[in-house]
Amino acid sequence: MEEEEVDDKQVLVNNNSSSSSLIELRFEEIRTKISERLKHAREAVVSVSAARKDSIRRRRKAADNLNQASAKYNELEKQLEEACEAEDFEKAESVSERLSSAERERELMALALRDAEADCDAVESKMQEVLDLQIRAEEECASLLESFTVDSANDADLVVGNAEAVSTKEMEEWQSSSEELEVKKMELEIEFHLVNDARSGLNNSIESLVEDDQRERDCLRDKKKFLMVELEKLLALVREKEAEIAENDSNIERVENRIADVVSGFQELQSTVDTKCHDLQSVLSQIELDNESLSKKKKEIDDFFAQEEARGAELREMSRIALVEANSYQEVVRLRKQLMQFVLKAREDKLRLTKTEKKLSEDVQMLKQAISTARASVQELSSTKARIHQEIESYNQRLLFIDKRVPELEAEKKVAATARNFREAARIASEAKVLGVEKEELQTKMESAISEVKKLEDETGSTLVKLQETEMQIASKEKELEKTRYQRLILVARAASTDRSAALEVGDVEEADILLAEAEAVVAEAKNLQPDKFKEEDFSNLQENFISMELISKLGSKQLAELASSVHILEHVEKGGNA
């Protein structure tokens, strides 16, 4: 039974040791998995960061090309105005052709810049995606570590609980065995004392019974010695003394026989008592050995419990370390998410302004196209009205001719009739009739033309009114467009300055120079929009602080907290939480 218990305890120890080893192995596997996931996420960030640098370079080049094309277009516009003022129409026509070509080139460069900006926005979106991937990876890391923390804590509790259960059971068995052994020992000690007392009593009884004989024997022995001395001194009395000696020997023998008889009567009982005492002494020695064995067993139990407690402490330490790492990842994830929300707010503002600018630009283009169409319509109406005026003038001249010719024909008809030249009179009458019909047709056409002219004049007036309204709309839209563009340029400049600071912080001087050039170019473009005509409240809602997504992906917990504090994110979050 005891051997089975020892085997069971050994199996439990082996199982706990194996479980502890598995926990440690799992902890290492989790750390390896975390390292691989974070490595993959960081590699993605590095890849997108490189693509972002390329997109920034392309956007800067496209912006430079557009600025050059715009400068060329503005110069040609100036030359065209000077040629028109100087009435050098040949030069004006040549410059106009070059201006058209420059305008097409500017439109192409603007399209290329929009494509480059779209690429930058796409890369920014990709950067956001990989940063989200990194955040998700860190969340998974925190989740894995939290799960491991719970499991390892449970395993530690299980190890200590099993150890306590085994130790309690072993201690109960040890206590029971100790108590039984103690009782048995006390019983044997009592029995030993009783037997020993009996043996002592027996020995005392024997001694008391033979005490007189022993004294007599001792006296006789002393007498024998004395007689022997006398025998030596008194050779003469040898014979007498030999007889006395013989008689004394006979008495000694008789007494010794009597003593031997007494002793032999108690010898069997004494032997039995001695045997019992020896047996009890052997049992007591065995009990002492058992007691030592129990003490050793108790030490083994204490050592086992201490060992299991140490193993449980190791598991709890691993659990604590995993919890610390999990909390660290959670804190990093929390800070990255807060900073990402801050960045996304800026991106949303920029995208909103970009969409608004695009929409306003399209509206302005549509309105300008409408103005061009209206002007072409007015020009067409003017041409039509001029053609109708020419027709009316032609009708008037024809009517005047008819009005002049008809009286002449009447006179000629009268002359022919008077001369009885009826055939000629009939021809003249027919011609006069035809002219009369033509006159009526011309008058009808004249009325129709005059009505058409009035209609054209009304339509031209209406078109001119719409043209003026459209020009007012264009002015309003262009003002709003300039304000929106200025707001967007401010955001772009601030973002570029922030990205430049981030590039300098990570030691990328080349990118920092590109971003500095972009920020300066954007600021210069914004100044050309005459910001003095805008109101300060137009920019009160613009975000002033910006954060680089690359910094968010690369910084650690402490630096992220400092970055969040620098743009007052933590204060904002705390206020939001209190609210």
Report yes or no: 331 and 557 within 8 Å, Cβ to Cβ.
Answer: yes
535: left (phi over 0), alpha (psi -120 to 50) or beta: beta
pLDDT tens-digit readout, 444-490: 988 898 888 899 889 888 988 988 998 899 888 888 888 888 888 88
| Mean predicted lDDT score pLDDT of the chain | 77
User: By C-alpha distance, which of 544, 499, 482 is closest to 349?
Assistant: 544
**Can you list the pairs that 164-172 forms with residues at least 24 positions away whose Cβ atoms lie under 8 Å?**
164/305, 166/9, 166/12, 166/304, 167/301, 167/304, 167/305, 167/308, 170/5, 170/9, 170/297, 170/301, 170/304, 171/298, 171/301
256-261 contact pairs (CB < 8 A, 24+): 256/217, 258/213, 259/210, 259/213, 259/214, 259/217
Rg (C-alpha) for the chain, rounded Å, is: 65
pLDDT, tens digit, 9 for 90 and up, residues 483-496:
888 888 888 888 77
**Tokens at residue 78, please?**
């100036």
Q: Is 38 helix (H, G, I), strand (E, B) or coil?
A: helix
Instruction: Reply yes or no on whether the pLDDT at 363 is more than 50.
Output: yes
Tokens of 174: 């040890």
pLDDT, residue 288, reads 77
Tell me the residue type at 281: Q
pLDDT for residue 572:
43
pLDDT band at 570 (very low <50, low <70, confident <90, very high): very low
425 three-class SS: helix
Does pLDDT of 350 surpass 50? yes
pTM flag (> 0.85): no
What length does the chain have? 579
Please check the confidence at residue 324 and state whether its pLDDT lies above 50.
yes
List Cβ<8 Å contacts ≥24 apart for 468-472: 470/367, 470/370, 470/371, 470/374, 471/371
Helix (H, G, I), strand (E, B) or coil at 507: coil
Q: What is residue 571's predicted lDDT score, i.e. its pLDDT?
A: 43
For tokens 């590095």, what's the residue? 46
- Say what the pLDDT of residue 248 is: 77
Q: CA angle 551-552-554, nearest 5°?
A: 60
Do 51 and 123 contact (CB within 8 A), yes or no? Answer: yes
Rounded to an integer, the average pLDDT of 371-380 is 85
In percent, the amount of the chain with pLDDT more than 90 equals 1
The CA distances from residue 186 to 138, 172, 256, 287, 410, in Å, are: 69, 21, 42, 10, 178
Residue linked to tokens 């032999």: 264
Question: Do 563 and 550 meet the contact criterion of CB atoms below 8 Å apart?
Answer: no
Residue located via tokens 């300055």: 497
> pLDDT tens across 186-244, in order?
777 776 677 677 667 666 766 666 677 677 777 877 777 777 777 677 666 556 667 77
The answer, yes or no, to whether residue 530 has pLDDT greater than 50, is yes
pLDDT higher than threshold 50 for residue 502: yes
Q: In the chain, where are the structural domains located?
A: 2-162+319-578
Would you say 503 and 515 are in contact if contact means Cβ atoms under 8 Å apart? yes
Q: What is the DSSP string of 90-151?
A: HHHHHHHHHHHHHHHHHHHHHHHHHHHHHHHHHHHHHHHHHHHHHHHHHHHHHHHHHHHHHH
Summarize pLDDT for 12-67 with one digit per residue, the tens: 445 555 555 677 787 778 778 877 877 887 788 788 878 877 887 888 788 888 88
Q: At what angle do helices 238-418 and 2-85 cross, to 10 degrees?
A: 30
Can you give the pLDDT at residue 577?
40
